[in-house]
Structures are given as C-alpha cells and as structure tokens.
C-alpha cells in the first residue's frame, strides 16, 4: 500500500492498481484534495473538472477489476498544459483574446494518446500568454507560484505543469518546450522535465514557433518520464513533420547505466555565468556521474551566445500569433509581450535565413561533439527561482526572458533531447537542476543517464515545505 497517494509516481500507481492495493478513484481523490488544499496559493490550474475526473477514475477502476486495463497509464491522474487542445475543454492559452466558446472537438496528439491509454484528466494547467516567455503569468490566469517558496516564480512556460507536479497535485503533466519551457520550470521546482528530439512527440496544430517547439513530460521521476514518452511518441497522422515511432520502450531501456559513457561537462556553454550555489550543486552532480563509471571531461565549447538568432525565430512566431487576432490585438495582450514584440520587430526574410544558418552551424557543431562524447551536461539554469510576477530577475542584463535562460534555448535550435533532473538546493532551499543533453534521436540514452543519476541520489524524494514551515521564523 502506498502511504501518501498524492506523492505516488505514475509507475507506483499503475503497479498498485495492478495488485489491487490502490484504486484509480482513491488516487484521483488524493490529487483533487491536493488541488483543493494548495492551488489557491500556487495557481497552477486554470481549469479543474472534478466530476469528469472521478467518472473517468470509476471507469478505470472497473477495467482494473476486470483485469482489462486500457493501455499504459490507465487511471493515472494527469494535467494538460493549456496550450494543447483538449476535447470538451477550452484551450485559452493564457489570453483574453481566445474565446472559451466553441466546439473544442479535438485532442492534440499528446492528449489523444494519454486518453487512449486510460489517463484520468484532472484539468488544464497555466501558461503565459501563448507560451511566449520563461515564467508563468498571464492576463487571463494571473501568476503561478513556486511550491518551494510561493514568493518565487515557478518558471515557464510550462510553469503550471511543473508547479502542479512539484506540489503533489497529480503525479505528472504534459507540457511544451520552445526554448526551455519544460526544463526551466522543472529546474526551478525540483522535478523532472524532458524535451525529446524534435518530431518524437507529434504536435497538432503546428506551433507558430515552428520546429523550435516540442511537447514532453514533466514528472517526479525519470521512470515516469520514460513511461509517458512510451505513450506520447506514438504516431499521429496530423503532424507531417513527426518522425516514426521510436523502436522499443523508453522505460525498458532505463537500466543501461553510465559505465564507460563519455560525458562532456560545460558549466557555462562558453558565455554563461552561474550563481555559486548552482555551480556547486552541478559540480557535485558531475562527481556522482564519475562515481557511476562515466568518463567526464570539463570542456570549453567556446560558443558565442546564439540568442540573436533565436530571437528572430521566436519573436517572429509570437508576432504571427498576435497578428492572427486582427487589428487592435496588441492592445489586449500582456503588456510585456507587446513591448517585446516592439523591441524585436521588422525582421526580414534575410534575417530569418541568417538565423537558420546560425542554427545549422550549432547543429553541425553538436553533431561533431557527439562523435566524441555520448552526452553533454550543463546546469539547467544559472540561477535559482526569482521573484514571482517578474519576467526577469532584478538587475537583469536585458528585458528579455532569454537573458537568464542561456543553457536551454540552444538545444531547441539544434532539436536535441535534453532533460532536467533535480541535483540539489541553494542555501536558501531552492531547487537546482542538472541538464543532460544527447545527440538527436538519442532520447533513450539521455533518459537512461538521468535514471542512473537519480538512482544514485535522493533529490527527487524531497518535498516542498508545508505552509506552516514556510511561515516559521527560520524559513526563507
């Protein structure tokens, strides 16, 4: 029997359903109870449907009793980022421009695969408007906060997903990542966030951010990330750019370990600068990797920051989204988005081609690096979570969210798989993330390395402080 259902992983729950120790109804009630207790302080959910969830859980319970479970995740409480179409529920994308009226007749591929595998959908979780930035606040839904310290940001743009998982409001969530939007909030909230190789998880409708955009899991364990990938990576004919379904199971490949793996460690990609507590936690994690038999070499990539090229691609997409709502739309959006679009306006076709050339150069360099090294590890972020309600920390070098996320967006440019796993805490008790990057289509290798590190540490078992602990005089 699982002692605390709200902290059970998806793989724990499936095993408990199979043995009969726990029912999907009990697990769903535990998740809904956690939402009732915590979400008024965290604001991770923009829609919760308790009765629908409980009805789905009862149907799952009946299937388990009949020993006829429906797929890999039957009865697992699940939340969906509010950028992904979900049948019967509005997808508002954090914007007042989106009307909740409509048929909402389709599931996005990720949602369809989860539903086909019996997942119990709890509701939808928050995103900044159109997923445009690295924190989660929006005109429609307000500010999403960090369970480790509600005065701090959860990160973004999948901040609702990460905050929900970190706070026990469901064991996993599906998010999206166009520049770090899965890994940033995973790093800030102490959970696992995996961005797969582009095209491994089908997307529909096509993202306005083009081939920067990925969908993937946010979970409390690497095993759960692998299990969700076994579900999400199944084909969907609506995405013409998706690759074939991966061969075999990600979950079955987690035991490959790290002995003999060649790992490059770059603390800064050649242009970043880290908070001392972040640097110390990541270097300690690197020592763990060495202890697991990996050959780790600290390297200087010698890169210059590709942020200008990224901005051309990113803000062209954001501008196209807003433009689609017609004249006057820019006066109704997040004022900081409007200001960002003014700063990054007037890109030409030549600018787009130049940015693509930078992207191709980075991809070539990473392809060559992976001929020498199986993996690259970096900090997920150079800093811990900062004040909620801000786009950038105080004294930021620029007004753009990319100023404090230097280690995530490069791997959207290159389309490589990358995972953030918790690797420690700052002196102030805020989580730190380790990023593990692999070659394109090396998703199983990345997850296997993350599992080996997770199993040699206990960071993923830590839980956010209670409200009483947060308010105690010794708390942060």
36-58 pLDDT tens trace: 999 999 999 999 999 999 999 99
**Model confidence pLDDT, tens digit, residues 378-396:** 999 999 999 999 999 999 9
Q: What is the pTM of this model?
A: 0.98
pLDDT at 471: 76
Domain membership flag for residue 262: yes
pLDDT tens digits, 191-216 = 999 999 999 999 999 999 999 999 99
Name residue 78's beta-bridge partners.
121, 172
Tell me, yes or no, whether 417 lies in a domain. yes
pLDDT in tens, 256-291: 999 999 999 999 999 999 999 999 999 999 999 999
- Domain assignment present for residue 174? The answer is yes
CATH of the domain at 444: 3.90.1300.10
Residue 244 counted as domain residue: yes
Say if residue 166's pLDDT is above 90. Answer: yes
Provide the CB-side half-sphere exposure for 213 (13 A, CA). Answer: 24
pLDDT reading at 474 higher than 90? no
- For residue 476, being part of any structural domain is answered with no
Q: How far is residue 211's CA from residue 171's CA, in Å, rounded to a whole number?
A: 28
Structurally, the chain folds into a number of domains equal to 1
Q: Is the pLDDT of residue 63 over 70?
A: yes
Quick check: is 216 in a domain?
Answer: yes
- Is the per-residue pLDDT at 476 higher than 70? no
Section 220-243 average pLDDT: 97
Q: What share of the chain is helix, strand, coil (3-state, %, to 5)?
A: 40, 15, 45
Mean pLDDT within 367-371: 98
Positive/negative CA dihedral, 375, 378, 379, 380? negative
Instruction: Tell me the percentage of the chain whose pLDDT exceeds 70.
Output: 99
> In this structure, what token pair is assigned to residue 407?
């280690």
Query: In this prediction, what percent of the chain has a pLDDT beyond 90?
Result: 96
Domain extent at residue 295 = 5-471
Residues identified as active-site: 81, 157, 181
Task: Indicate whether 292 belongs to any domain.
Answer: yes
126, part of any domain: yes
Q: How many CB atoms lie within 10 A of CB 180?
A: 32
pLDDT band at 246 (very low <50, low <70, confident <90, very high): very high
Burial (CB count <10 Å: 0-12, 13-18, 19+), residue 454:
buried
- Residues 104, 88: contact at Cβ < 8 Å? yes
What pLDDT sits at residue 467? Answer: 81
Q: Tens digit of pLDDT for each residue in 124-163? A: 999 999 999 999 999 999 999 999 999 999 999 999 999 9
């Amino acid at each position: 029997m699982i002692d605390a259902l709200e902290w059970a992983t998806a793989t724990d729950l499936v095993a408990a359903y199979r043995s009969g120790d726990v029912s999907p109804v009990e697990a769903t009630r535990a998740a809904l109870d956690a939402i009732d207790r915590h979400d008024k302080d965290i604001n991770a959910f923009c829609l919760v449907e308790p009765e629908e969830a409980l009805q789905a859980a009862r149907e799952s319970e009946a299937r388990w009793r009949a020993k006829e479970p429906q797929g890999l995740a039957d009865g697992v409480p699940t939340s969906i980022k509010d950028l992904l179409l979900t049948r019967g529920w509005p997808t508002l994308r954090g914007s007042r421009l989106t009307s909740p009226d409509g048929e909402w007749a389709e599931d996005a591929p990720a949602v369809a695969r989860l539903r086909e595998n019996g997942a119990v959908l709890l509701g939808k979780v928050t995103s900044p408007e159109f997923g445009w930035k690295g924190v989660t606040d929006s005109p429609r839904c307000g500010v999403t906060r960090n369970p480790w310290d509600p005065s701090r940001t959860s990160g973004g743009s999948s901040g609702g997903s990460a905050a929900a998982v970190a706070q026990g409001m469901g064991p996993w969530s599906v998010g999206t990542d166009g520049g770090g939007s899965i890994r940033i909030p995973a790093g800030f909230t102490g959970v696992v966030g995996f961005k797969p190789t582009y095209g491994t998880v089908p997307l529909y409708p096509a993202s306005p951010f083009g081939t920067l955009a990925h969908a993937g899991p946010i979970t409390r364990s690497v095993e759960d990330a692998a299990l969700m990938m076994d579900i999400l990576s199944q084909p969907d004919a609506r995405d013409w750019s998706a690759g074939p379904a991966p061969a075999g199971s990600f979950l079955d490949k987690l035991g490959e370990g790290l002995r003999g793996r060649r790992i490059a460690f770059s603390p800064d990609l050649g242009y970043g600068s880290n908070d001392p507590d972040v640097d110390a936690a990541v270097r300690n994690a690197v020592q763990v990797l060495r202890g697991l038999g990996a050959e780790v070499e600290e390297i200087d990539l010698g890169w210059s920051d590709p942020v200008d090229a990224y901005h051309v691609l990113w803000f062209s997409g954001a501008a196209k989204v807003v433009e689609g709502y017609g004249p006057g739309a820019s006066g109704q959006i997040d004022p900081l988005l409007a200001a960002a679009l003014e700063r990054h306006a007037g890109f030409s076709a030549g600018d787009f081609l130049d940015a693509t050339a930078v992207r191709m150069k980075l991809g070539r360099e990473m392809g060559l690096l992976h001929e020498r090294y199986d993996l690259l590890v970096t900090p997920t972020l150079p800093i811990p979570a900062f004040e909620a309600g801000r786009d950038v920390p105080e004294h930021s070098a620029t007004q753009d969210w990319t100023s404090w996320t230097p280690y995530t967006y490069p791997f959207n440019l290159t389309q490589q798989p990358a995972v953030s796993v918790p690797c420690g805490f700052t002196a102030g008790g805020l989580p730190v993330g380790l990023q593990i990057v692999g070659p394109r289509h090396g998703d199983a290798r990345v997850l296997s390395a993350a599992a080996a590190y997770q199993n040699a540490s206990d960071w993923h078992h830590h839980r956010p402080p209670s409200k009483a602990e947060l308010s105690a005089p010794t708390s942060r």
